[in-house]
């Protein structure tokens, strides 16, 4: 975290001291400016012309004791530098420091790994359910009834047989619908 400390009123009225003349900040991070006022409450103006690097332009600050200001740098900003000015005493005192904006170190992507496909067994489906048994038994029983009827072993008229086949198909549709859910 980049921090610049600015001392106000330590050496006299409207005096201005910077902890550094140059600070390095990575793109996408923040520059923290700590104002420390050693005298009467005062106004300080912080300004820069760096729209390529930050959305911050200026701020007029009323400093009573200590105050920290966070200036966010753009994530997509390129490497470069700009000056940040501090003004006190209604323009009487001016100081500046340089902000070197560095491109962030790219974080290497983790090596991709392949997860083996594992068959996921549904505990509800491990045993043969009643629906599964019905799906196999109903067509077999229906086929047996139709064969016995065709060869004359069942004494059922055509109308009754149509109703039986319709009911068997209806039961099959209902079982299929339930098993799909």
- pTM of the full structure: 0.56
- Asked if residue 20 is part of any domain, the answer here is yes
pLDDT at 1 over 80: no
Q: For residue 2, how many other CB atoms are within 10 A of its CB?
A: 17
Q: Domain total for the chain?
A: 2
Tokens for 28, please give them: 């996408």
Nearest to 70 by CA among 93, 54, 51, 88: 54
pLDDT at 71 over 70: yes
Q: Which residues have a Cβ under 8 Å from the Cβ of 44 and sit 6 or more positions away? A: 6, 8, 35, 60, 61, 63, 86, 87, 88
- Please say which residue of 102, 132, 148 terminates a domain: 102
Q: What is the mean pLDDT of residues 74-89?
A: 92
Residues 7 and 95 in one domain: yes
Residues 54 and 137 in one domain: no
Q: Calculate ∠ Cα 9-10-12, nearest 5°.
A: 60
Q: How confident is the model at residue 74 (pLDDT cuts 50, 70, 90)?
A: very high
- Predicted pLDDT at 6: 94
- Asked if residue 118 is part of any domain, the answer here is no
pLDDT at 105 over 70: no
149-164 pLDDT, tens digit per residue, is 888 887 888 888 888 8
- Predicted pLDDT at 66: 94
Q: How confident is the model at residue 122 (pLDDT cuts 50, 70, 90)?
A: low
Residue 68: domain span: 2-102
Q: What is the mean pLDDT of residues 86-97?
A: 91
- Predicted pLDDT at 118: 62
- Predicted pLDDT at 132: 66
Residues 97 and 136 in one domain: no
- Please say which residue of 35, 70, 102 terminates a domain: 102
5-47 pLDDT, tens digit per residue, is 999 999 988 899 999 999 999 999 999 999 999 999 999 999 9
């Amino acid at each position: 975290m980049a921090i610049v400390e600015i001392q106000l009123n330590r050496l006299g009225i409207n005096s201005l001291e910077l902890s550094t003349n140059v600070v390095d900040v990575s793109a996408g991070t923040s520059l923290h400016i700590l104002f420390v006022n050693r005298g009467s409450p005062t106004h300080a103006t912080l300004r820069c012309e760096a729209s390529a690097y930050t959305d911050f332009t200026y701020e007029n600050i009323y400093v009573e004791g200590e105050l920290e200001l966070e200036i966010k740098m753009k994530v997509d900003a390129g490497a470069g530098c700009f000056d940040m000015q501090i003004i006190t005493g209604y323009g009487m005192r001016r100081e500046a420091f340089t902000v070197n904006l560095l491109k962030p170190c790219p974080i290497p992507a983790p090596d991709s790994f392949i997860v083996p496909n594992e068959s996921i067994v549904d505990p509800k489906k491990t045993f043969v359910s009643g629906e599964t048994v019905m799906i196999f038994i109903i067509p077999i029983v229906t086929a047996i009834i139709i064969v016995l009827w065709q060869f004359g072993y069942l004494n059922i008229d055509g109308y009754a047989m149509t109703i039986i086949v319709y009911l068997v198909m209806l039961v099959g549709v209902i079982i299929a619908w339930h098993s799909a859910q």
